[in-house]
Amino acid sequence: MDGLSAFAPQAGADEKNETVGGAALSAPLLSVENVTLEYRAPGRVVRATQNVSFDVWEADRFVLLGASGCGKSTLLKAVGGFIAPREGQILLDGHPVHGPGPDRVVVFQEFDQLPPWKTVRENVAFPVRVSGRMSRKQAAERADYYLEKVGLSRFADAYPNTLSGGMKQRVAIARALAMEPRVLLMDEPFAALDALTRRKMQEELLHLWEEVRFTLLFVTHSIEEALVVGNRIALLSPHPGRMRAEINSHEWDLNSGGSPEFQAATNRIHGLLFEQPETAGDIRA
Ligand SMILES: Nc1ncnc2c1ncn2[C@@H]1O[C@H](COP(=O)(O)OP(=O)(O)OP(=O)(O)O)[C@@H](O)[C@H]1O
Ligand SMILES: [Mg+2]
């Protein structure tokens, strides 16, 4: 087998009726339906994505994969509620997304997403506390719980500027998980790390997922990272992003890298991403 038997155009009816842990999954947790996203400035409209649709089920590790500029971050911002679709809609638990909320938390690529005047514990506890759900003490306990999960208990009283890039990303992940969001949104969270640390972080993220079973929407432009991190991958065309294909990738893990099958899958995805170059780009108002 070439490792590509899982290629499928879209999640089919069978998949929608599958069961996880014995529970029937009748509806997706997150539905992105025919979403077109645009940036508007006087005299100029940039279409970032066109007519994109996908469904994310509970405990999916769903990856948006595409070339730089294809609209991955914009899609994530729309799911986060920071941008409204020009066309189409985004549903979370069947309800349209109309703005940001604590049920969707984003981890970004940048290392400077942590306020430097707060300790690691305060950084993780603060959003939980201000979202109004917990006392200071409860929030600190929740922070300690997730800091332990990302292996940073010893650094709870440290300040971010004393941490490495990888450690800062672990704090950002702990902070996001501490909110116990319905969907964890990650925008190239490991892209600024060196190759060894990036691989270690991918491994840790998968271990964390095994333990916590959060639902993940993960953006990357690395085919290898998509195959390793995701159980399902949406392939987006170059700018403006359109759905090229959706594939199942649960068969790959960190030990798959370098095998001929993994290489073949990578090559096939590369072909799917870049064949039939799009001519449509920016449109003028
Ligand atoms: N604030 C903005 N105003 C106008 N155009 C924007 C803005 N942000 C992004 N764009 C444009 O929208 C398109 C999609 O951008 P986006 O950042 O979503 O791409 P991406 O897939 O995340 O790329 P990368 O992999 O480089 O992060 C690009 O053409 C980009 O130039
Ligand atoms: Mg981006």
Q: Which residue's CA is the closest to the ligand 1 atom numbered 14?
A: 71
CA 72 to ligand 2 center in whole angstroms: 6
Query: CB of 143 within 8 A of CB of 124?
Result: yes
Q: Which stretches does DSSP call E strand in 126-227?
A: 183-187, 216-220
Length of the chain: 285
CA 104 to ligand 2 center in whole angstroms: 17
Ligand 1: lining residues by beta carbon, under 6 Å: 39, 46, 48, 66, 68-74, 221, 239
Those residues whose C-beta lies under 8 Å from the C-beta of residue 189, and which sit 6 or more positions away, are 107, 108, 109, 169, 172, 173, 201, 218
pLDDT in tens, 46-88: 999 999 999 999 999 999 999 999 999 999 999 999 999 999 9
pLDDT in tens, 81-121: 999 999 999 999 999 999 999 999 999 999 889 999 999 99
Pocket test for ligand 1, best of 72, 106, 273 (most atoms within 8 A of CB): 72
pLDDT in tens, 228-262: 999 999 999 999 999 999 999 999 888 888 899 99
Q: Which residue's CA is the closest to the ligand 1 atom numbered 18?
A: 71
Q: How far apart are CA 111 and CA 160, in angstroms?
A: 9
Q: How many CB atoms are located within 10 Å of the residue 270 CB?
A: 12
